[in-house]
Amino acid sequence: MRKARLLEVVHLPPPVHGASVVGQCVVGSKVVRDHFDVRVVPLRSGQLKDLGRLNMGKLSALAKVLWRIAFNLLYFRPDIVYFTPGLRGIALYRDFVCVLLIKLFRKPIVFHLHSKGIRSSEGKTILRFMYSFMFHKETVVLLSSFLTSDVAPFTRRTRVLFLSNGIVRNPALLELKRRRHRGAPIILFLSNLIESKGVGDLLFAALILRGRGLSFRLRFVGGATDDAVLAGYRAFISAQKLEEYVEFSGPKYDVERDQMLAEADIFAFPTYYARECVPLVILEAMQAGLAIVATAEGGIPEMIQDGETGFLVPRRDPAFLAGRLEILLRRPELCEEVGEQARRVFLERFTLERFERNLVMLLNSVEGDGEGSVE
């Protein structure tokens, strides 16, 4: 009995973001390849600063992607196409053309969405048509049930399923945590330094915490897409005399990134980023056993149980954020207990093994045209 043929049209790094990281995991998954005969057409967008910009290089890349998709449709003849589409800007138009080609061959498409914010396009005729056409009578996979309302206007005749992200288990984190040197509690922020990720709110929260006499170190780990914005943050720190409390460590990878997670006590992520869904950085923090303070953005409420594995805070509210951080800073035993519970939830629900197993179940349900479910 032959394996079902699966064509994966997926985002891969660079740049490094949630969709490309998960795409890399899907492409490299032995579990998926054990169940399907796989071919891959990679989608790449260049550097973060180039996202959403059209240039000749991108037009040339589109032509190559279309050729590779057409070749696989003609000669590989997939039973299913697994597609992680861009949902805004130039990427949406590129992927719409790719979907047109796939639909001409009448192949079932599984759209795995790693972003949100498309509901805001409901009033724009062209975008409403594009989303409705793409998803019509196909399968749309969301990262969380909290994201259902975002796609509801465009999925009336669409099968909608849910599949949580998962990341690789990293046993080295626990060993690094055991060897760390205790000092002032470390609050970690780990992401690109974009204002809508809550960087400014966290700086204001640090100012409030210092005023309340608390000892801590706020560490920002991540790259800045705009040097002027980073300069503005540094100017604020200097003006408020927060140098002893705040540091920018720049982007970290692999062992250095693990070290940052292992040294931290609290993970703070007050994002209000419009496309935030299920941030992989929160899964990393959960695996590291950190107490988490984050906004209830996107699918985050499905990851964090308020008061059990962390605290959920309102968007754009530095005072509330500071209050929740203060609780954890003043009660280290609670901070440790909450972090351990977060790690247990990670191991139960958000490992890569679980993600791969559930993805295979989902794809099998599509190939068999059944109802399907995931754990």
Q: Residue 239's pLDDT band (boundaries 50, 70, 90)?
A: very high
pTM of the entire predicted model = 0.91
Give the pLDDT confidence of 96-110 residue by residue, as tens digits.
Answer: 999 999 999 999 999
Give the pLDDT confidence of 187-234 residue by residue, as tens digits.
Answer: 999 999 999 999 999 999 999 999 999 999 999 999 998 889 999 999
What is the reported pLDDT for 95?
Answer: 93
Tokens of 169: 């288990």
Burial of 322 from C-beta contacts in 10 A (0-12 / 13-18 / 19+): buried
The whole-number average pLDDT for the span 39-56 is: 67
What is the reported pLDDT for 313?
Answer: 98
What is the reported pLDDT for 52?
Answer: 52
CATH-assigned architecture of domain 4-166+351-367: 3-Layer(aba) Sandwich (3.40)
Q: Residue 182's pLDDT band (boundaries 50, 70, 90)?
A: confident
Q: Residue 373's pLDDT band (boundaries 50, 70, 90)?
A: very low
Same fold? 4-166+351-367, 172-349: yes
* Cβ–Cβ < 8 Å for 216, 205: no
What is the reported pLDDT for 370?
Answer: 44
Least confident of 13-22, 35-44, 147-156, 314-323: 13-22
Q: How far apart are CA 317 and CA 325, in angstroms?
A: 13
Tokens of 121: 């396009």
How far is Cα of residue 336 from the mean position of the Cα atoms in its chain? 25
The whole-number average pLDDT for the span 28-44 is: 95
| Domain boundaries of the chain, sorted by first residue | 4-166+351-367, 172-349
What is the reported pLDDT for 113?
Answer: 96
CA distances from residue 111 to 8, 127, 304 in whole angstroms, order as listed: 10, 17, 25
Tokens of 116: 């949100």
Nearest alpha-carbon partner for 16 in 59, 42, 48: 48
Q: Residue 123's pLDDT band (boundaries 50, 70, 90)?
A: confident
In this predicted structure, the answer to whether residue 45 has a pLDDT above a threshold of 90 is no
Tokens of 78: 């997939």
Q: How far apart are CA 277 and CA 117, in angstroms?
A: 10
Give the pLDDT confidence of 125-172 residue by residue, as tens digits.
Answer: 999 999 999 999 999 999 999 999 999 999 988 899 999 999 999 998
Give the pLDDT confidence of 171-181 residue by residue, as tens digits.
Answer: 988 888 888 77
- Size of the chain, expressed as the number of residues it contains: 375
**Is 172-349 CATH 3.40.50.2000?**
yes
What is the reported pLDDT for 14?
Answer: 80
The whole-number average pLDDT for the span 339-350 is: 97
Q: Residue 49's pLDDT band (boundaries 50, 70, 90)?
A: very low
Tokens of 53: 């910009």
Tokens of 30: 């032995």
* Cβ–Cβ < 8 Å for 169, 202: no
What is the reported pLDDT for 55?
Answer: 63
Give the pLDDT confidence of 306-332 residue by residue, as tens digits.
Answer: 999 999 999 999 999 999 999 999 999
The whole-number average pLDDT for the span 285-305 is: 97
Query: Three-state SS string across the chain, please?
Result: CCCEEEEEEEECCCCCCHHHHHHHHHHCCHHHHHHEEEEEEEECCCCHHHCCCCCHHHHHHHHHHHHHHHHHHHHHCCCEEEECCCCCHHHHHHHHHHHHHHHHCCCCEEEECCCCCHHHHCCCHHHHHHHHHHHCCCEEEECCHHHHHHHHHHCCCCEEEECCCCECCCCHHHHHHHHCCCCCCEEEEECCCCHHHCHHHHHHHHHHHHHCCCCCEEEEECCCCCHHHHHHHHHHHHHCCCCCCEEEEECCCHHHHHHHHHHCCEEEECCCCCCCCCCHHHHHHHHCCCEEEEECCCCHHHHCCECCCEEEECCCCHHHHHHHHHHHHHCHHHHHHHHHHHHHHHHHHCEHHHHHHHHHHHHHHHHCCCCCCCC
Q: How far apart are CA 213 and CA 206, in angstroms?
A: 11
- Single-letter residue type at 39: R
Burial of 178 from C-beta contacts in 10 A (0-12 / 13-18 / 19+): exposed
Do β-strands 291-295 and 217-221 pair in parallel, antiparallel, or remain unpaired? unpaired
